[in-house]
Amino acid sequence: MARSPDPMKIEAVTLREIRMPLVHFFETSFGRTTSRRILLVTVHTDGLAGWAECVAAENPFYNEEYIDTAWMVLNQYLAPSVLGCEIGSGRDVPARFAKVRGNRMAKAALENAIWDAEARQKNVPLWKLLGGTRREIACGVSIGIQDSIEQLLEKIAAELAAGYQRIKVKVKPGWDIAVLERIRRRWPDILLSCDANSAYRLEDADHLRRFDAFRLLMIEQPLWNDDIFAHACIQKTLKTAICLDESIRQARDAQAAIETGACRIINIKVGRVGGFSEAIAVHDVCQSHDVPVWCGGMLESGVGRAHNIALSTLPNFRLPGDVSASKRYWREDIIEPEVEVTPQGTIAISDKPGTGYTVREDLIRRLTVREETIRP
């Protein structure tokens, strides 16, 4: 029997904030982002480094966390709970964080950095370590609210020409029916969905039923960010499948949402659910109920993007994800090679150990505005 590798002694954890301007602003129902403040986490163990990205945004608008709260929780609670410890695998990390409530994006960053280190230590691809099976993944794009419908149509045309398999547009009251009408008039048959990021209320149920005319693949998170019950009420009255994003923070939420009929599709974001271990658990709950999942995005740099790619290889990731090419976001990404999408709208999965992408530490150093290394 193969001897399992020695546990990893966690010697230090480095937190870094880098600033990266987006190639194009990204606007949702809760606001516009033009430049990212990104928190990167590095774990140092036995001469190896594991990297991960904390997907908490600049403001607590998508969920309760943002970069500054994540930094503090990592610094004061999460890093101390692994520093100096012998850890066998990424799987063993959530138990060490159990006392800390919520703060899932902060937890995910440190857990995923340890999975990243584990894959390197064992010299296996991260996607295999996670239980992945796919050799290529299907890609869609999420397109933000634009200054005009014409500008949006131009963007969609460019993404379709690039090969992307599914177009998702952000919607909110006042930027919805007219937008979807124009898209469907020009492209009657594309795979199309929309994401409201919680912009509607139960009083909008009649309005939301008008979306059924556009034969959408799904409508993502129409109601409150923390709700399951009200989504179950409106899903009954909609032809269009609801996909939950914000509401699904853990496998129990997925189970509740599926069993109450609150959604027919689930978006998995590894940061939102607290790390790879819980992301796999959500995936498995959905798979056992025959509910398809897809991988969501949070405007990640290459470090987080590479992790999303690895996660997307699990078998129940049956719909195109919001995992797209580096160049849609960044003039220059912090990994090598950059993430590229084929003309068929897929990303090919590497057989190399780890993520298959190299972190560009030189570039990261130049982009760093804040750095702190925590030791036992």
Interface positions with ligand OSB (CB under 6 A):
28, 62, 142, 195, 197, 245, 296-299, 322
Question: Per the residue annotation, which of 107, 168, 170, 172 is the catalytic one?
Answer: 170
Going by C-beta distance under 8 Å and a sequence separation of 6 or more, which residues neighbour residue 230?
A: 202, 223, 224
d(C-alpha 135, C-alpha 115), whole Å: 20
CB of 309 closer than 8 Å to CB of 323: yes
By CB under 5 A, tell whether 322 contacts Mg ion: no
Q: Between 19 and 352, whose beta carbon lies closer to ligand OSB?
A: 19
Instruction: Show Cβ contacts of residue 269 under 8 Å, excluding neighbours closer than 6 positions.
Output: 55, 245, 279, 295, 296, 297, 298
Provide CB contacts within 8 A for 136, sequence distance 6+.
342, 346, 347, 348, 349
Could you tell me the smallest distance in angstroms from the CB atom of residue 322 to ligand OSB? 4
Of 91 and 327, which CB lies nearer to ligand OSB in the complex structure?
Answer: 327
Residue 305 phi, psi (nearest 5)? -60, -45
Residue whose C-beta lies closest to Mg ion = 245
Binding partner of 322, given ligand OSB, Mg ion, none, CB within 5-8 angstroms per partner class: ligand OSB
Choose among Mg ion, ligand OSB, none what residue 211 binds, the Cβ cut-off being 5 to 8 Å by kind.
none
Question: Is there a catalytic annotation at residue 170?
Answer: yes
Q: How far is the CB of 302 from ligand OSB (least distance, A)?
A: 12
CB of 314 to ligand OSB, least distance (A): 19
Cβ nearer to ligand OSB, comparing 208 with 298 = 298
Site string for Mg ion, 180-199 (x = CB under 5 A): ---------------x----
Using CB under 5 A as the binding rule, whether residue 27 contacts Mg ion is answered as: no
Q: Does position 245 bind Mg ion by CB under 5 A?
A: yes
For ligand OSB, the nearest residue by Cβ is: 297
Residues 135 and 349 sit within 8 Å (Cβ to Cβ): yes
Residue with tokens 């987080």: 304
Nearer to Mg ion, 268 or 334 (CB): 268
- Rounded to whole angstroms, the Cα distance separating 325 from 137 reads 12
Q: Please, what is the Cα angle at 361 between 355 and 367, to 5 degrees?
A: 120
* 155 has catalytic annotation: no
Minimum Å gap between C-beta 55 and ligand OSB is: 8
Query: Do the Cβ atoms of 63 and 182 come closer than 8 Å?
Result: no
Contact criterion met (CB below 8 Å) for 10 and 368: no
- Token pair, residue 147, equals 């200054």
Catalytic annotation, pick one of 107, 168, 172, 269:
269
Q: What does the radius of gyration of the chain's CA atoms come to, in whole angstroms?
A: 20
Residue count at the site for Mg ion (CB under 5 A)?
Answer: 3
Distance CA 225, CA 200 (A): 10
Is the CB of 274 or the CB of 354 nearer to Mg ion? 274
Residue 116 found at the interface with Mg ion (CB under 5 A): no
**Which residues are known catalytic residues?**
170, 269
- Site residues for Mg ion per CB under 5 A: 195, 220, 245
